[in-house]
Amino acid sequence: MGDPFEEFGPGSADELEEGDKVAMFVEGDVMGFMPVSMNRQLNSQGRALVAGMQTHVMEIRRRQAEIDQLVVQAREEGMSWAAIGWSVGLTAEGARLKWMEEPDG
């Protein structure tokens, strides 16, 4: 097997050193991404932790998109902001502010 850390393009995070690139890496059965300069600071366990965090963040984002779609469906069915807010741990106003569409203009 080849190098588990493969460079693939320029990075864009604020933490990147000038000219640094973001690279994909594989540790065991998980894959992750990080700036090449950070890879020099991490051992195998550190890279596995980074990949694990990234996996969880992607899952949270996927689940949030599902919740967003459920809110759209609930509103289409006439559900109140109070019921939606209560369902997700917000007040009616909090839910309305989070999901109400901005007026066109």
Per domain, the residue ranges of the chain are 5-99
Cα separation, 21 vs 35, whole angstroms:
6
The pLDDT assigned to 92 comes to 96
The pLDDT assigned to 103 comes to 52
What is the tens place of the pLDDT at every residue in 40-97? 788 888 888 888 888 888 899 999 999 999 999 999 999 999 999 999 999 999 999 9
What is the tens place of the pLDDT at every residue in 1-48? 344 444 444 444 445 555 668 878 787 777 888 887 777 788 888 888
pTM (whole model) above 0.75 = no
- In contact, 65 and 76? CB cutoff 8 Å: no
